[in-house]
Amino acid sequence: MVDPLRIVFFGTPAFAVPTLEALLASRHPVAGVVTQPDRPRGRGKRVSDSPVKAAAIAAGLTVIQPDRLRDPGMLETLRAWQPDLGVVAAYGKLIPDAVLTLPRHGMINVHASLLPKYRGAAPIHRAVIDGEAVTGVTIMRVEKMLDAGPMLAKATRPIGPDDTSDVVEPDLARLGAALLVEVVEQIAAGTVQEELQDATLSSYAPKLTKEEGLIDWALPALSIHNRVRGLYPWPHAYTYLEGTRIIVLATRVEGDAADAPPGTIVDVARDAVQVATGHQGRLAVQRVQLEGGRPLTVREFLAGHPVRSGAAFLNA
């Protein structure tokens, strides 16, 4: 059997944890972990460990959290670890050349899309928003240009018509973790195959913003439904009703179009509020949330906030 590879691991959020755990369960030792500095998290904005840091400490690994990857002290630490290979999974920052060239086999990345589509920070959410029927993970070499390196392996996952981003993400994390270990074995054996990306087929998946959540009711019902799914669990789709901001958590598309201006509530039932859209059907709003409140079924919402047919959801 060929010799194992010493791994330095770069990752920060929950998506990266299965990859770290898969490496720890493999025959390839993890020399150390690089994760982003501790930051305020959650509603209380308390400073806490990243999911990767917590998992690494629980496994007894050495963890460093540099503010800048170019810091000389950080580079000296990496050299002291003597890594054969770098593995990146949602680290959250671009890796400079000085770090990319330090491991003798370079660095590889677990990217949550079927490259070259959806390069960038939010590939899972953008695929759901765009109504893609299939997504996946790609193991690729890390190069200076964002998510543009040669591809080493892929695995796919269907996206159901009602799947939300938080349902798709953990599945891709597990797929990517298993695939990553296979690729590490291929690199160790010298059998890995590389495929260049076709840049003409690439698309960009920028970071999500809160402003993107504002629902444009003039869009087709399916487009709004996909946006609700893709922006769940953050930053959420939202609208306004009589000056109150309403977060829209779950919807379904109804086949019959409504003869009413977009945003108009055309029917109020126990399980959903039917809303007219631009064309191609109506949107049934099933779950909502008021600012600072808990998620509510429409039935719960209507009990405290009566809504009549003919009222309208507005864009501001």
Q: Return the percentage of the chain with pLDDT > 70, whole number.
A: 98
Going by pLDDT thresholds of 50, 70 and 90, the confidence category of residue 5 is: very high
How do residues 237-252 score in pLDDT, each as one tens digit? Answer: 999 999 999 999 999 9
Token pair of 269, please? Answer: 């039932």
Instruction: Could you list the beta-strand ranges (E) of the chain.
Output: 7-11, 30-34, 39-41, 46-48, 63-64, 85-89, 107-111, 134-141, 151-158, 237-241, 244-254, 265-268, 273-276, 282-290, 296-297
- For residue 223, the model assigns a pLDDT of 97
pLDDT for the residue 204: 97
The structure tokens 């050495």 sit at 62
How much of the chain, in percent, has pLDDT values that exceed 90? 89
Angstrom distance (rounded) from CA 132 to CA 161: 9
**Averaged pLDDT for residues 73-99:** 96
Domain boundaries, the chain: 7-201, 210-304
The candidate with the shortest Cα–Cα distance to 132, out of 149, 114, 154, 147, is 114
Confidence of residue 279 (pLDDT cuts 50, 70, 90): confident
CATH number of 210-304: 3.10.25.10
| Other CB atoms within 10 Å distance of the CB of residue 140 | 27
Its pTM surpasses 0.85: yes
Extended strands (E) in 81-236: 85-89, 107-111, 134-141, 151-158
Q: What would the CATH number be for the domain defined by 7-201?
A: 3.40.50.170
Mean pLDDT of 140-165: 97
> What one-character DSSP code corresponds to residue 260?
S
